Every structure is written in structure tokens, then in C-alpha cells.
Structure 1
Amino acid sequence: MTSSAPHGTYDFVIAANRLPVDQQVQPDGSTAWKTSPGGLVTAMESVMKGREAAWVGWAGVAGEAPEPFDDDTLRLHPVPLSTEEHNEYYEGFSNDTLWPLYHDVIVPPTFHRTWWAAYRRVNERFAEAVCEVAAEGATVWIHDYQLQLVPAMVRDRRPDLRIGWFDHIPFPPVELFAQLPWRAQILRGLLGADFLGFQRADDARNFARSCRAVLGATAKGEKVEWTGSDDGRIGAAPRTVRAAAVPISIDASGFRELADSPAVRERAQAIRASLGDPEVVLLGVDRLDYTKGIRHRLRAIGELLEEGSIAPPQVTFVQVATPSRERVEAYRMLREQIEGTVGRINGDFSHLGDTAVHYLHQSYGREEMAALFQVADVMLVTPLRDGMNLVAKEYVTARHDGKGALVLSEFTGAAEEMRNHVYLCNPHDITGLKETILRAINDSPEEKERRMKALRRRVRTHDVQAWASAFLSALASAPERPTRKEIR
């Protein structure tokens, strides 16, 4: 793709909290950049391949930002964050205020004015960086809850730009969102976009209801009309914005090719052998987060073991818990609770050579995850609340043999698309969760293959390319923006 933008500016700009690469120190002391394992990067990798664009984000290291640099056709534009800003904007406001509030207040959110000030300051810095690299009339795609003020901040500076924002996590009902002291500022920030994409239709409706209740905006269907304000704050101009569901997906063809490779198949056989070649392998793969329902899942597994419904060596459970936000107190407590529960279960039900629960608190590459998915006879994806959950889609894509069973929480975005062919559960209902797990284990091979075939077809048809195309098409159909010359 060739850009007609002036040197140093781009017709397509992405803004996200992190750059798609991480800086790593090599054995000889030199530094190199490696593709980040994050979910957004994984989703966007195939979308951005060969596209000439700029990506604005934090480089992952506190202090002065590196100079902008190129990664193939992608121009990476780092935004600096001090250690204090990272603590207050990211670990504080983003992950200890917004994250719990947007996930049904599973743990209480913390409200600090200093965190809000840092959030606003960092969003301002991102907005300035976006405006610096965006060519006139460029398309800007802003991602996620860390940057909710950026759309209006960019709009105020550059009304010529076409601005989209995508929410990777749930957007809460107004009854919860209204707790946020800065609720009006957040909504006005988001209304700077031309199009707002959400994982579920309910999330888009929650946003529209919040605009109506908090700002007095008019919401009809997918359109939100804000009459504006003369108070001089961000997002003061009148706006008409479209908010709709555009559920994200995975690079299905790429992951299917990876999972079908001889090396991954061989690794899957080795993993199963290392587990003692059980009859049934149950698998959970999650970031270590209180939203993922790991404690509820372990409680269900523990009760099934206690009742004798499952037992090693015939059945074993593998839980991968990727480290996450370990400096946030709620996450440290969660890890202690989970590890204590695993220890008690294994102490009660494991025998020499036969482990009831294999707990792995570490990260794995895509090849290893694809192999693990092929080992799993039953995949347990049981969050208490999740925007989408791409693990569910990766699992069915990896099952080229047509086998396996997916137990899926009804509180995931994935359930909106996959509910007719998964083993749907309410993770809060431990008795129901146990029954669902047993059904997924004991159903006939023919029934499981029927479900898996339908799931694989769904993910193959609605892949990440279809998601990006749907989002960008909706953004392109927004009203034409005036050029800066016309504004002058």
C-alpha cells in the first residue's frame, strides 16, 4: 500500500496503550524489538500486514521514549511514560478504577483524583502524538479503555480526521458506570469519535443509555446525538456518533495452519504423554485475573473430585494462568488464593504419579498453546465477565480433528456468537457448572463432532479480517470531515 501523505505523516494511524513490540535485552547486552504477545497485537497482526501506517503507543519502558522507528511497513511512534505515570494512569486508573468498574464490580473500584489527573495527562500526550503523525483527512483507529479521552482530544485539535474507537472490554450498564466521578468526561471523550465499536450489542446500548442519562444526549437505535456545551472542556462541540457491535475475532487461517503443522501435532502427543496419557484432559487458559472465574472453576473441579465424578489418572485438569498486573493488590491476593486452592485439591486427591490439577503460572508461545488446545478434550472458558475471549475461538480453530468440547460462560462476548453449539454455563452456578462439565465429558463423539464442526465454520467465516473490514467500513461511512483548509 502506498501513502500519498507528506513525509512523516500517514493516512492510517492506530493508537493503543502499547506498541505491538517489546524491547528485549540480548545475551550480549544489546537490545532488540520482538512482537508483543498481547491479545490486541495478535488480533491486529494479520490486519496490519503490508499496510503502510503509524502505530502510536507506549514502548513498555518507563522514562524517555525511543525515537520513532519502522517495523516493516509500520511506523512505530513511542509515547513516553514516567514510572509515576505508569503507576497512576495504567496500574491505577486503568486497572484499579476502570477495569473492575467495567467488569461488573467483581472487586470494588478505587477512585483517586491523582489517578484521574494522570489518566487525562497521558491521554493528552497520546492525542498530541496522533495528531503529529496523522496526514490531513487520515483515518485514526483508537483502541480500548486506557484511551477513552483521546477521541475528543484529537477531534478538538484535528476536526479533519476520521476517528474510530474500539472497546475490547465490556461497557457497563449505566447503574454501574454512574459510580465513576468522571463519568461525563469519559463519555464526552468517546463522543469525539465518528464510530464507536463494541464487542456486544448490549455494550453499545449501555454506552448510549449512559450518554442519555449522564449527558442528556439523544439516543435512537445506534445513533447518539450530543448537542454540545459552551463550557470549553473537551468534547464540547455538537456531535452525532454511531455506536454498534463489531465483535472481534482471530486470524483463523493463520492459527489453523500453525495448529496443523507437524511440529505442533508432535508436541501435542508429547504433552499428553507427559500427563500420563489420561482418558480426559480438562484445560483452562487464562490471564491471572479475577474476571476469569478461575476460583469458581477450581471449586467445581474440587467438588467433582470429592464426589468421585472424576478422578486421576483417568481425568486431569490443566490450568494455565498467565501472570498479570502483579503489582496490583487484588491480583496478588488472587494468586495466593488460587495457589492455595490448587494445593489443597492436590493434597486431597492426587497420588504419586497421578496429579489432579496441573497449575502453570507462566506464559506460553502460540505454538505451545496450539498444542495444548489439541490435548484438551474439554476446554473450560468460564469468565465471570469478558469482552470477547479469543481463547474460545483459538481452541475450536486448533481442533482440526473435529474433536473436543467447549464449555463457555454465557457472560463472554464469544457466547453471543457461539451459544448454539457450545456447552453454555453460568460460572456463578457451581452445581450447574459441574453438570455442564460432566455433560461435555460424557456426550457422544458424534454430538461433540457436530458441535465442533459448526463452531469451526463460524470462526472461519467471521475471522479477524472480517472484523477489521466491518469496523473500517462503518467508520468510512461516517459523515465526511471538513479539511483543515475549510475550517480556517
Structure 2
Amino acid sequence: MVSKPAALDVEPAGSDYGQYDFIVVSNRLPVDRVTDDGEDTSWRRSPGGLVTALAPVMAKTDGAWIGWPGSADEVLDPFDHDDMRLVPIPLSQDDVELYYEGFSNATLWPLYHDVIAPPEFHRAWWECYKQVNQRFADATAKVAATGAVVWVQDYQLQLVPKLLREQRPDLKIGFFNHIPFPPLEIFAQLPWRRQVIEGLLGADLVGFQRPSDSSNFLRCVRRFSGHAIKSQHVNIKTETGTRICRAGAFPISIDVDQINELANRPDVIERARQIREELGNPKTVLLGVDRLDYTKGIGHRIKAYGELLEDERVTVEDAALIQVASPSRERVESYRLLREEIEASVGRINGTFDTLSNTAIRYLHHSYPKEEMVALYLAADVMLVTALRDGMNLVAKEYVASRTGVNGALVLSEFAGAADHLKQAILVNPHDIDGLKDAIMRAIHISPGEATRRMRTMRRQILQNDVEQWSQSFLRALQVDPAEELGEQP
């Protein structure tokens, strides 16, 4: 850990540019602040999959990570942490409200998730989004070495590729969209649709979770940019000739080794046993783990389980549901209302069906460390992933990776990107409550032999495609010469 930021010297003698050969640009830095009893602030690496995937690349190259440190109105100097140079980008309280809570999470997030909640379009939000994206691009242009590789992450920074290319045409620029990209008919609602498309086309390679997302993007490019498209290559005419931007699917995965290690630790296994005991040792433990978000289908899952109790197809002695709902964007009104709705549903079901010994739904509005999450995965006989729309859903993959005993059942929404890879899951349309109820019952009563066959196939897929393989495949593709690639095509 680093107790306080160090000074930054990114202008080596005789160079007009910075010194970093590989740069990641994301909304947040890959560290969380740790403050001990009023002592100086230190930093701890964030537990996310993106950090896990890119940390080895950072260690092998002269790497820097650019992002917001997480607190409004705070200006920090760049500093070193775990073989990475961290370059903090300041955001004012207005920036947080307009760029992040506003345009990113109340305009783009609902729009890109099939308008499950209505997006809001405000010109002040858009203006702030542009300004913050420019700030990120300026910082990147300053620290990148000549010919450096820059990998921009996610929907908060869609304008950065073009803004960065305008300043630094020497850079190799990649962009990855971690959430879905909407169909043309939905994306067309965005008043600034052309500017967003042109922003993304500043990249050499734009990556998505699913082939359908890549196809949606290319349809929007064709409609709103006028650039010629051949296969997955967009030909962009410039003052000096033609530049090619490619689009493709690069599905993200998880740190399989970390999950396997935890799933085999005696203390985690013992914690899983305690969890079942605390629930009253029901025959079946159902588990949902989500960020509290309207895209995750938590309400649909709870409704289906409540109706199974009402129909007497299960009892609280038969099947208990644990629902972990991590706090999320609680200042945004739609999220506050969602929390009230979910907690009211849980209270009604528990008030109706609880006994002195058993609780129908154990609702946990907390975030938990990875050790506790893996213990929950081990304790659960059935994992419920009922997202209404999800770029990937790594919880589904983590559950599969944790099942070292090759047992358990996964009920998985067909609208999650993970459904493309975990085809042996029990796939459902979460909008079909009766179908969801039947899928839950099928998972509860699945035979050991069928459960093992399905889980073995899914585990094989996860073990062969972990998060490091994802990052390496993207970075390899970014280095491919698109002209040569087109020349090899029939």
C-alpha cells in the first residue's frame, strides 16, 4: 500500500510525450481507499475482475491506469501501487451528479438495457459528459508514450477514443463495452447518437460481450455515420487516407483460480455448512446474488418464489431463498424506489410464510467479501440468475467455478450474455413467471446424474476461458493489422 501520493514526472528528457507503453482508462481507479483511525489514507486493490485481468499486463509492461479515485472534489497527484502508475482524474460534485449519476446511469444505462426503465435526456448532462470525457482524454494523451496501447473501458467514456485520437494519432486505441449495446431502434432515441458513434469509432478495435451487441453497433454505424462497412470493419476516411475500426465480441470471464482456491479452503467450506444451519437446514437452498438494479430481475425472481409458496409447490422447510442485493446508486430515484418495492415484497412473503424455525427469504442488503460469496455459492443447491438484460453476468460463472463437487443447478436468463456460454444451464425467460416457476422446480428436483452432466460441461467451458484469456484475446486482436486481415478474407 501507498500511504500518500507521489509526484508524477511523465515527461522524459527529449520527448514530447509521456513514458507509459500500456494504459487502461476507466471511470474508476483499480484501488479502494483505506483509512485507519484517522491515519493517512492508503489504498487496497479493488476485487473486480477487470483489475485481476489487467494487473499481470501492467506488471509486465510500463503501465498506467487512469480513473476517478471515488470521492468528489478531491484532487490527487498520480502515485504508484502494485506495479501500476495510477493517474487520478478529479470529479466535482456537479460532475458526479451530471456525468455519472445523470448521463451515464440515468441516460445511457437504461437506454442500453432495453429501456427497462425510461431513460432521461438532458442537455446539461450531455455537456458535462463531454467535458469529463475530454478530461480523461487529455490526461491519457499526456502520459502515453509514442505508439502506446490504450484500452478504454465502458459506457462512461464512449467519447474518449475519438478525443484521444485527435490529439495522439500515433496510439493504438481499444475500447470495451461491458454492458449490452442496444438495437438500432432503441439507440436511435439518443439525441446525441451520432456523436457517441463517432466517439467509439476513434478506436482501432471496439469490443462487446456478445456477437449481437457487435451487430447492433455496426447497424448503428451504418445508419448514423455514413462510413462504409465490410464484414466487421468500418472504413473511416480521414485527411491522410482511410483508417479502419473493427468491432467484435470478446466475452469477459472470471478469475477461475481464485474461486477454485476459495472453494477448497476448509474455513470457506465450514462457513457454507454454517449458512445452511442458520437457515434451519432446508432441503434446498436457492440463491440470488445481484447488485440492486432494475435490470437484474430480482422482483421477478421473488414473485416466482412467492407464488410457488402460495401454490404449495414448495414450503419454507423445503426451499429457502437467500437474496443478496448489494447497494447501488442509492442517490438515483429509480434505484431508491426499486429498493422499497423489493423490500416490501420480501416483507409480505416472509410475513405470510415464515415459521419459528424457517424464514422464506433471507434478504441481505449488503456487499460481502469474496470469501463469504464463495461460501454462499457452496451452500446453494440452486443459483437463480434472472436478469432482464445483462452484458454478461459473472455471478453465474462464479457459481459454476465454485462447484468443485460438480453438483448444483443454475437457472439462467437467456437475456444474460453468460447464456451464450453456459448452455447447459436451465435457461429461462424471466418475464414468463409461470415458466420461471417451472424452471425453479426443475432445478430443485434435478437428478444427481443430470446435475453432474450439466455442471461438468459448464465448468469445462469456464476453466478454458478465464479472465486472463479474455484480456489476452482482446489485446492480441488489437495488434492485428486490419488491412492484412481484410486481405485474407475471400
TM-score using structure 1 length: 0.93
Q: Which runs of 5+ in 1 are unaligned?
A: 231-235, 481-488
Percentage identity across paired residues of the two chains: 57
Specify the alignment match of 1:257 in structure 2: 261
Alignment check: 8 A CA contact 1:9 1:132 kept: no
Aligned partner of 1:170: which letter?
A: P
Specify the alignment match of 1:80 in structure 2: 90
4+ residue segments displaced more than 3 Å: 4-8, 37-52, 236-239
Alignment check: 8 A CA contact 1:282 1:376 kept: yes
Corresponding position: 1:159 with 2:169: yes
Aligned-pair CA distance for 1:197: 0.6
Aligned partner of 2:109: which letter?
A: W
Secondary structure class of the residue paired with 2:23 = strand
The CA distance in 2 between the partners of 1:275 and 1:410, in whole Å, is: 30
**Any idea what the Cα deviations from partners look like across 1:404-452, whole Å, max 9, x if unmatched?**
1000000011001112x10000000001011111111111001001111
**How do 1:337-352 and structure 2 match up within 5 A?**
337-352=341-356
Specify the alignment match of 1:217 in structure 2: 227
The CA distance in 2 between the partners of 1:336 and 1:291, in whole Å, is: 16
The CA distance in 1 between the partners of 2:368 and 2:344, in whole Å, is: 23
The CA distance in 2 between the partners of 1:283 and 1:42, in whole Å, is: 25
The CA distance in 1 between the partners of 2:149 and 2:235, in whole Å, is: 22
| Partner residue of 1:410 out of 404, 414, 419 | 414
Aligned partner of 1:417: which letter?
A: H
Residues 82 and 237 of structure 1: CA distance in aligned 2, closer, same or farther (over 3 Å): farther
**Any idea what the Cα deviations from partners look like across 1:163-207, whole Å, max 9, x if unmatched?**
000000000001000100000000000000000110000000100
Secondary structure class of the residue paired with 1:317 = strand
| Partner residue of 2:396 out of 392, 399, 408 | 392
**How do 1:141-160 and structure 2 match up within 5 A?**
141-160=151-170
Aligned partner of 2:208: which letter?
A: F
Aligned-pair CA distance for 1:36: 2.5
| Partner residue of 2:384 out of 380, 383, 397 | 380
Corresponding position: 1:127 with 2:143: no
**Any idea what the Cα deviations from partners look like across 1:137-164, whole Å, max 9, x if unmatched?**
0000000000000000110000000000
* Count of residue pairs brought into register by the alignment: 470
The CA distance in 1 between the partners of 2:53 and 2:456, in whole Å, is: 23
Specify the alignment match of 2:428 in structure 1: 425
Corresponding position: 1:111 with 2:121: yes
Residues 5 and 442 of structure 1: CA distance in aligned 2, closer, same or farther (over 3 Å): farther
Specify the alignment match of 1:325 in structure 2: 329
The CA distance in 2 between the partners of 1:439 and 1:81, in whole Å, is: 49
Corresponding position: 1:440 with 2:456: no
Secondary structure class of the residue paired with 1:457 = helix
Aligned-pair CA distance for 1:29: 3.9
The CA distance in 2 between the partners of 1:73 and 1:57, in whole Å, is: 16
Specify the alignment match of 1:465 in structure 2: 468
Specify the alignment match of 1:284 in structure 2: 288
Alignment check: 8 A CA contact 2:53 2:468 kept: no
The CA distance in 2 between the partners of 1:253 and 1:26, in whole Å, is: 31
The CA distance in 1 between the partners of 2:19 and 2:212, in whole Å, is: 37
The CA distance in 1 between the partners of 2:275 and 2:75, in whole Å, is: 41
**Any idea what the Cα deviations from partners look like across 1:236-265, whole Å, max 9, x if unmatched?**
995321100000001112221122111211
**Any idea what the Cα deviations from partners look like across 1:447-476, whole Å, max 9, x if unmatched?**
001111111110000111111111001101
Q: Which runs of 5+ in 2 are unaligned?
A: 1-9, 484-490
Aligned-pair CA distance for 1:51: 4.7
Secondary structure class of the residue paired with 1:184 = helix
Secondary structure class of the residue paired with 2:295 = helix
The CA distance in 1 between the partners of 2:378 and 2:281, in whole Å, is: 13
The CA distance in 1 between the partners of 2:170 and 2:272, in whole Å, is: 52
Secondary structure class of the residue paired with 1:140 = strand
Alignment check: 8 A CA contact 2:49 2:467 kept: no
Secondary structure class of the residue paired with 1:193 = coil
| Partner residue of 1:449 out of 432, 443, 452 | 452
Residues 397 and 49 of structure 1: CA distance in aligned 2, closer, same or farther (over 3 Å): farther
**Any idea what the Cα deviations from partners look like across 1:58-114, whole Å, max 9, x if unmatched?**
000111321111112111000010000011000000000000000000010000000
Corresponding position: 1:474 with 2:477: yes
The CA distance in 1 between the partners of 2:122 and 2:169, in whole Å, is: 32
Secondary structure class of the residue paired with 2:325 = strand
Aligned-pair CA distance for 1:479: 5.2
Aligned-pair CA distance for 1:37: 4.0
Corresponding position: 1:13 with 2:23: yes
Specify the alignment match of 2:310 in structure 1: 306
The CA distance in 2 between the partners of 1:384 and 1:43, in whole Å, is: 27
| Partner residue of 1:196 out of 197, 206, 214 | 206
Specify the alignment match of 1:32 in structure 2: 42
The CA distance in 1 between the partners of 2:262 and 2:190, in whole Å, is: 43
Corresponding position: 1:102 with 2:105: no
The CA distance in 2 between the partners of 1:34 and 1:337, in whole Å, is: 35
Aligned-pair CA distance for 1:40: 3.4
Corresponding position: 1:168 with 2:178: yes
The CA distance in 2 between the partners of 1:278 and 1:51, in whole Å, is: 51
Comparing 386-395 and 8-17, the one that deviates more: 8-17
Alignment check: 8 A CA contact 1:43 1:249 kept: no
Aligned partner of 1:158: which letter?
A: R
Specify the alignment match of 2:194 in structure 1: 184
Aligned partner of 1:431: which letter?
A: D
Aligned partner of 2:354: which letter?
A: S
Alignment check: 8 A CA contact 2:49 2:254 kept: no
Comparing 396-405 and 26-35, the one that deviates more: 26-35
The CA distance in 1 between the partners of 2:282 and 2:180, in whole Å, is: 37
Specify the alignment match of 1:483 in structure 2: none
Specify the alignment match of 1:66 in structure 2: 76
